[in-house]
Amino acid sequence: MRALPARRLASTALCALLLAGITGPAAVAADSAHERTHAMSQAPVPGADALLAQVKSLGNLGAVLKPVTDLLNTVLAADNGQLTPDQATQLGDAVKAAIAQVTAAAPAPAPTVPTTPALPSAPALPSVPALPSAVPSTPAVPAAFPVPAAAQAKGLGGAPAAKDLAGDALTALQTAVDNLLKAATSGDVSQVLPAATAVVTGLVNLLAAILLGGGLPAPNLPGLPSLPSLPAAPSLPASPPLPVPTT
């Protein structure tokens, strides 16, 4: 009768060993899989830097869009389009803070190409000895073809200087918002609608600047007309050939 408990103890110990042999490797494998999953979750998507920049530009648009549309909705729904000084200050400060935040986060524009320096005049050819009257005299060599002033203002080879379209659109939008706040506190309802229209136009200009100048992918919605491209810089005319003197 005393052998039975010892047999049970041995059986229990054997079961424990079997369970340890089964669950031990499984637990280690589960931990390794969890570590691999965690490591993979920390790895960035290859080649996503350019797309992240595009997403950021769209996020900047959303950051400005909300406070500006809040201002427009409040003004257009107000009695005669007029706001109290406190309302105007609160709404105007929200727009100003959003524009300042986007402007501070925007990358600096690319440096402009230096203007083309004026080309020196070609040296004059040495004088030719007197020839018979039938032979024409040697013509003077013309000066090098000058670069037009307009082309010099645009940069080397007539290429337009780098332009911060989004920055210009934000500046114009801030001016339009300031004008709308003045109209909404002036007591003159006739000034409200033109000022509000200018703000809407400023938002459209900002959207166009981001779409055309922010490197975003072209829209591909069926039936959507293509967006106009930015105008190309005019090319300089070719320099006239130098005349060859006759002997």
pLDDT tens-digit readout, 67-91: 999 999 999 999 999 999 999 999 9
> Who wins on pLDDT, 158 or 230?
230
- Torsions phi, psi of 199, nearest 5? -70, -45
Residue 78 backbone class (left: φ over 0; alpha: ψ -120 to 50; beta: rest): beta
Least confident among 6-15, 167-176, 225-234: 6-15
Residue range 155-166: average pLDDT?
55
* pLDDT value of position 210: 84
Q: What is the pLDDT of residues 118-149, one digit of tens each?
A: 666 666 666 655 555 555 555 555 554 454 55
Residue range 221-241: average pLDDT?
67
Whether residue 170 contacts residue 64, with contact meaning beta carbons closer than 8 Å, is answered with yes
Q: Where are the domains of the chain?
A: 51-107+163-216
Mean pLDDT of the chain: 73
> Who wins on pLDDT, 59 or 170?
170
What are 119's two structure tokens?
């080309």
The rounded distance, in Å, linking the Cα atoms of 236 and 134 is 39
What are 179's two structure tokens?
């004008």
* pLDDT value of position 199: 96
Fold of 51-107+163-216: Four Helix Bundle (Hemerythrin (Met), subunit A) (1.20.120)
Amino acid residing at 96: K
The rounded distance, in Å, linking the Cα atoms of 217 and 227 is 11
* pLDDT value of position 57: 79
Is the pLDDT reported for residue 224 higher than 70?
yes
